[in-house]
Amino acid sequence: MGEAMQGFAYAICLLLSVLLNILLVGNILYGGDGEWRLRLPNGELKWSQDAAAAAEAVAALQCSGHGIAFLDGEIGDDGVTPVCECHTCYSGSDCSLLLPDCFADADSGDPLFLEPFWVQNAASSAVVVSGWHRMSYSFPDSSIFSQQLENHIRKVHAIARNAITDGKYIVFGVGSTQLCNAAVYALSLENSSSLSPAKVVAKIPFYPLYKMQTEYFETKNYEFEGDPSLLRNDTDAAGNVIEFVTSPNNPDGHLRAPVVGGPFARTIYDRAYYWPHFTAIPAAADEDLSIFTISKLTGHAGSRFGWAIVKDKSVYENMVAYIRTAELGISKETQLRALSLLKTVVQGDGRGIFNFSYEKMKNRWERLSQIISQSRRFTLQEISPNYCNFFEKIRGPSPAYAWVKCLREEETDCGAVLEAAKIIGRAGSMFSAEDRYVRLSLLKRDDDFEQLLARLRELVAIEDGAKTM
């Protein structure tokens, strides 16, 4: 009996000791706050201290809230402190001076509206890169793509409920820009028995890159045609066609479906803006080939990272072959950073970035619409409220761009009309549409957006017969 008791006591001790060890190891790996982070047992940093201190020192430079400093920016007279890079329309060493005659620059689609989200999430999104981080061309499994990152991409889509990734392949690219041509290349090989090159089409107004890139990289397998209406009904339409469908569309924010049908028509869905930030998500995309980009999801256009979700194995393999031939893979630093950003995106209930972005973009659209509603000279595109799979309710518009139309008959160059009022937009002809249209970016920083609203208010206020504000 005594021996049995002793054995029992040993067993209990062993069990307690195992439990204690699990708790200690768990604490080292994930910290005491339940966050999944690797931590040093004694919290003492050895070689990353200086780098971390420099990163925090540069972030601490306030630049009056109208500028920002970076570690790789210009250095001041002391030879160490980076200089503030002022937002457009601000100047001075601390960016506190507002330039009186400054143009509102609403040209580029730089999604800097997300900068404050990352400042709010500074701790979870920061990443330290050791001098020896993944120096190899490939990962240990010989892949050029990070499996961890792929897992997180699938997770983000599951949370946003904007794409089905189950049973599909994922290819990474240097931005979605590279994947657009990789997709054209891969799809053009699918019907290589055809004697004539595949015709690449996109409905007007369309994002200019499709034409520029397809023409630039044209091969004997594909050529750019333009609007699908240019296809001859009898032969081309039933033939070898690759259609870009941008949904929601850049520039007008409309959700789109393919125009071309037929057995040999193939579609590349450019889903750059298919996030709750910019559109209602009527249903999760379940397509043969969809392209997404971190540029418009997290705002990190400078990191140059995009991915394609591909159903067909041979299309996937040809896209990977394209990436290998063009670039021998994607920067491992970019993949590490993208992983760290997506880990932040999915933390908690994973809704944080979508709530932030939707509120910001919706508010911008409402304020802009309110000003333009006073005008008899300009209109904006109409976007109807729609059911959203993510918010599980009908929601209003929050597009990335305003597609402005000049209504006066004589004002055929709307870009010139806006430029005379110190507003820079992107001409309709850039999107193969009329210059009676101009695209205004709503994606930039608050300072840019406020300047845009100020200039528009002035323009509408001097309008003959404007409705009273």
Ligand X SMILES: Cc1ncc(COP(=O)(O)O)c(C=O)c1O
Residues engaged in binding ligand X (CB under 6 A): 109, 175-177, 207, 246, 250, 270, 272, 293, 295, 301, 306
Please, which residue, 150 or 270, has the CB nearer to ligand X?
Answer: 270
Please, which residue, 267 or 293, has the CB nearer to ligand X?
Answer: 293
Q: What are the two backbone dihedrals, phi and then psi, of residue 387, each rounded to the nearest 5 degrees?
A: -70, 135
Q: Give all strands of the β-sheet with 426-427 in edge-to-edge order.
A: 378-379, 401-406, 437-441, 426-427
Q: If we measure between CA atoms, which residue out of 285, 373, 300, 389 comes closest to residue 336?
A: 300
- The rounded distance, in Å, linking the Cα atoms of 120 and 16 is 40
Question: CB of residue 176 vs ligand X: minimum separation in angstroms?
Answer: 4
Please, which residue, 164 or 179, has the CB nearer to ligand X?
Answer: 179
250-to-95, 244, 376 alpha-carbon distances in Å: 32, 12, 25
Please, which residue, 296 or 377, has the CB nearer to ligand X?
Answer: 296
- The rounded distance, in Å, linking the Cα atoms of 191 and 365 is 43
Question: CB of residue 295 vs ligand X: minimum separation in angstroms?
Answer: 3
Exposed (0-12), middle (13-18) or buried (19+): which is 96, by Cβ within 10 Å? middle
Please, which residue, 323 or 371, has the CB nearer to ligand X?
Answer: 323
Question: CB of residue 127 vs ligand X: minimum separation in angstroms?
Answer: 20
Contacts of 438 (CB under 8 A, 6+ apart): 403, 404, 406, 414, 415, 418, 425, 426, 427, 428
- The rounded distance, in Å, linking the Cα atoms of 43 and 65 is 33
Element of type H or E holding 19: helix 2-30
Question: CB of residue 158 vs ligand X: minimum separation in angstroms?
Answer: 21
SS3 state of residue 155 = helix
Question: CB of residue 119 vs ligand X: minimum separation in angstroms?
Answer: 21
Instruction: Retrieve residue 176's tokens.
Output: 């979605």
Please, which residue, 114 or 301, has the CB nearer to ligand X?
Answer: 301
- Asked if residue 106 lies in contact with residue 424, where contact means CB atoms within 8 angstroms, the answer is yes
Please, which residue, 53 or 212, has the CB nearer to ligand X?
Answer: 212
Contacts of 342 (CB under 8 A, 6+ apart): 149, 152, 153, 155, 156, 298
Please, which residue, 66 or 277, has the CB nearer to ligand X?
Answer: 277
Name the residue with the smallest CB distance to ligand X. 175
Question: CB of residue 246 vs ligand X: minimum separation in angstroms?
Answer: 5
Question: CB of residue 118 vs ligand X: minimum separation in angstroms?
Answer: 17
Question: CB of residue 219 vs ligand X: minimum separation in angstroms?
Answer: 21
- Asked if residue 346 lies in contact with residue 155, where contact means CB atoms within 8 angstroms, the answer is yes
Question: CB of residue 293 vs ligand X: minimum separation in angstroms?
Answer: 3
Question: CB of residue 408 vs ligand X: minimum separation in angstroms?
Answer: 29
- Residue 454 CB coordination number (10 Å): 16
Please, which residue, 82 or 205, has the CB nearer to ligand X?
Answer: 205
What DSSP designation does 285 have?
Answer: B
Please, which residue, 90 or 207, has the CB nearer to ligand X?
Answer: 207
- Asked if residue 447 lies in contact with residue 67, where contact means CB atoms within 8 angstroms, the answer is no
Contacts of 309 (CB under 8 A, 6+ apart): 157, 163, 165, 168, 169, 170, 285, 287, 289, 290, 292
